[in-house]
Amino acid sequence: MTGIFKIIRDAILADNTLAALIENRVYTLRAPDDQKPPFIIIQLSGNTPIATAGEVMIERPHITLDAYVAGQDTVTLRSIFDAVKALFDTYNEQSGGVSYDLRRIFSMPGPDEDGGLRWSFEYQGTVVTT
């Protein structure tokens, strides 16, 4: 399942708007303890694999993207939201004989435990070996 993390991270870093907003700070699972926002964390929140009649396994990972900003910086948070939504709401990538397709399930803003703001995105992925 690590391939989807690389695909998502690479897509974020290749997006000029997102890369400028987060200054290339994209992490898997957690950010370093001393990291200052804004940044994005990518996590796997579940997986629903499906075996097809042709004995091909289709992975259906649930991917969470959490965007963090310092304090109450709603302008930066909204800019990150708009950029992530534009990039991933109908995302499909072919890489190394594997197809990655993402569809947003939900997104929701909220407070961060450190007093800043966070916007969480949940995506359902489909990963198929082509």
Report, as an integer, the average pLDDT of 94-109.
91
Residue 110 lies in a domain: no
Residue 90 lies in a domain: yes
- pTM for this entry: 0.89
Report, as an integer, the average pLDDT of 86-109.
90
Counting the structural domains of the chain, the total is 1
Six token digits for residue 13: 């870093």
Residue 80, domain extent:
1-28+71-97
3-state SS, residue 109: strand
Residue 107 lies in a domain: no
Q: Are 36 and 71 in contact (CB under 8 A)?
A: no
Residue 13 lies in a domain: yes
Q: What percent of the chain has pLDDT over 70?
A: 97
